[in-house]
Amino acid sequence: MSITAILISTILVNNYVFAQFLGICPFLGVSNKTDTSLGMGVAVTFVVTLASIVCFFIQKMILDPLGLAYLQTIVFILVIAALVQFVEMVLKKTTPALYSALGIYLPLITTNCVVLGVAIQNIVAKYDLIQTIANSIGASIGFTLALLIMAGVREKLELADIPEPLKGFPITLLSAGLMSVAFTGFAGLV
């Protein structure tokens, strides 16, 4: 697949949140305001891309030669957890401004299944390094897009006249479902 096809595919058609239902937890948790969701998006982009690249090399250079492909999940989780820790330390030392801007979102990404999902997807789809990077950037943009749209909708919902039993999470889940249905409109684009 070409780079553009991968990007369009992960951002719109196979959006990790709307089509593959990964990363629902932060999608519902940090989509209250547009600026915080943008912060989360940036942090996810950073970690997903880095984690995918590292996982790609570990798969190709360690797991495949040793015939340990079945250890993929546990090794990738280990890599992601260690990587987030490392990135956190580096950011804290080198760019405290970015560190405090990302705040709590950075450590939260450890448990974000989008990161693991993208890393495994890259291997399953047999992507090369360039395609891996494209896929991870596309996936993060798709995730950020989903978060931003959701935050926009929820900011509007704050002022809407919602029936009492639907207030709060029910209406959020309903809008998320409707948005997911809307995104199926992109099917067949790639």
In the complex, the residues that contact other proteins under the rule CB under 8 A are 58, 62, 66, 68, 71, 74-75, 78-79, 82, 85-86, 89-90, 92-94, 96, 100, 159-161
168: which DSSP letter? Answer: T
Nearest to 79 by CA among 127, 43, 42, 118: 118
Residue closer to other proteins, measured from CB, 25 or 78: 78
Do the Cβ atoms of 63 and 75 come closer than 8 Å? yes
- Dihedral over Cα of 38, 39, 42, 44: its sign: negative
CB 133 to other proteins: min, Å: 22
CB 89 to other proteins: min, Å: 4
Residue closer to other proteins, measured from CB, 2 or 85: 85
Token pair 């209250």 in the structure block, residue: 32
Residue closer to other proteins, measured from CB, 69 or 130: 69
CB 74 to other proteins: min, Å: 7
CB 143 to other proteins: min, Å: 25
Where does the chain have alpha helices with state H? 3-8, 24-29, 34-58, 64-66, 72-94, 96-102, 105-108, 113-124, 129-157, 169-183
Residue closer to other proteins, measured from CB, 15 or 52: 52
